[in-house]
Copies of this chain bind each other. A is one copy, B any other.
Amino acid sequence: MDTTSFGIAIMAAGKGTRLKSKRAKVLHEIGGRPLLMHVIAAAETVAPPDRIYCIIGHHADNVRTVAVSTGVHFVMQAEQKGTGHALQVLKKHFSFTGQKVPQHLLVLSGDVPLIRPETLQQMCSFHLEQHAAMTILTAVPPNPTGYGRVLRKSPGDPEVLAIVEQKDLAPDQLATPEINSGIYCFETESLFANLSRLSDQNASGEFYLTDIAGLLAAEGKRVIAIKADHIDEVLGANTIAEMMHLDAAMRLATARKLMAAGVTIFRPETTVIDSMVEVGADTTIEPYVQLLGNTRIGQDCRIRSYSVIQNSTIGDGVLVRNGCILDSATVGRCAVLGPYSHLRPRSDIGEDAHVGNFVETKNIRLGRGSKANHLNYLGDADIGAGVNVGAGAITCNYDGVHKHKTTIGDGAFIGSDSTLIAPVTVGDGAYIAAGSSITEDVPAGALALGRSRQTTKPGWVASRKKKTS
């Protein structure tokens, strides 16, 4: 469908008093992203960022900071005097900035995050086909009580008779099932012509956008409604409990999509999987796993419970044992991690390599088939293939002033509990004796020792006991 004539306004100025939160309502997170970012993502399927206008107010700076990278416009609504007022502010924005007024305006709520691109497309299409001045997105919840209701001229007729608030419903209108979602399309000229005619002479002293429907109808303009397929799409989150419900629903949908594509996910409702995550077929995800951000996992992997993988790329056939934490790491095919490996950013683990328990890596390359299996800290290191890093061996990359690099050649053996004091290079096939502190480069094939010779004092324990008793 051609939506080039559409601009989009996103209502993101509200406070969300019922949340009991200092944060702006639209910055609360579900599915790993702020509510607003979900709405912007949906909006971007209809129009490019330079035709999207975020109307901000409460915590405007924070909202702007979070969303600025999307490239949308921000329009400041300094006082919050209702949805009608928000569009009055937008109208002024166009006249002040000289930015081009779009022919049609899609109005979204920044706190209604599950709206689907398909629904927006259908709505915009319908709006154009029907030559409407205003198109209202409706939905049919299990219990409509409390919601503003949309009355059609007759059942099935696209044309709307009125939008009526719960308290104003006549007795025979109480059963009206269709509710107003607060999502609209407008023919912009008709909308803008009527904005100044809105009144704030009501209980809350606000300008209501819903009143536009009556004004347009009075002018003989066409006001129509289209129903969303799923009630979830138009649900706002007014309490934290409601948001948490949306979050769980969104993530379960992601897990189900992956299962349908051949991924085995035990206890799918317990996993936390962001919507962008990709997982190959025949990979098994155990309960309580979290796959976050821009993560890609290959085929035939097994990700064991309590592991959290964020912004990382995992090759085929990788085994991630329990409790691993990965952030911005790359793991080659058939590597084995964990349990309790912690891979921090720029950890590049080679094919068939092993990273074991209580091992932390940061900014390292670990070559093909190399092993660092026990209680290591490896930071700022380039480690070749076939290297064995013994238990407790540590790279000292920080001297209190600068960070330095450790280089270890292919096939080297780094003895247990040794300390590699960077900058230092260990050559191919070199051998570091256990317990050594290494401060100087070690040539290929050499042995390096840096530990004291043992002294033994027979009978010492008995004599100490005598002294201390």
Residues of chain A having any CB pair with chain B under 8 Å: 19-23, 28-29, 239-241, 243-244, 247-248, 256, 259-268, 270, 272, 281-282, 284, 287-288, 290, 299-300, 304-306, 308, 321-323, 325, 339-340, 342, 356-358, 360, 374-375, 377, 379, 388, 390-392, 394-396, 398, 400-401, 413, 415-417, 419, 421, 429-431, 434-440, 442-443, 445-462, 464, 468
Contacts and interface: CB of A to CB of B under 8 A. Distances in A.
5 contacts: A20-B262, A357-B360, A375-B392, A447-B460, A450-B453
B244 A266 contact: yes
Nearest to A401: B468
The residue among A304, A339, A395, A419 with the most chain B CB atoms within 10 A of its own CB is A419
Given A241-B259, A458-B446, A391 B394 contact: yes
Contact of A394 (B417, B437, B448, B453): B417
Given A436-B454, A460-B447, A468-B401, A244 B262 contact: no
Stoichiometry, as copies per complex, reads: 3
Given A239-B259, A342-B340, A377-B375, A416 B396 contact: yes
Nearest to A300: B22
A323 B297 CA distance: 23
Contact of A458 (B300, B306, B445, B450): B445
B450 A421 contact: no
Given A23-B282, A390-B398, A461-B430, A452 B454 contact: no
B256 A241 contact: yes
Contact of A456 (B244, B268, B443, B454): B443
Contacts of A340: 323, 325, 340, 342, 358
A457 B59 CA distance: 54
Contacts of A272: 266-267, 287, 305
B461 A431 contact: yes
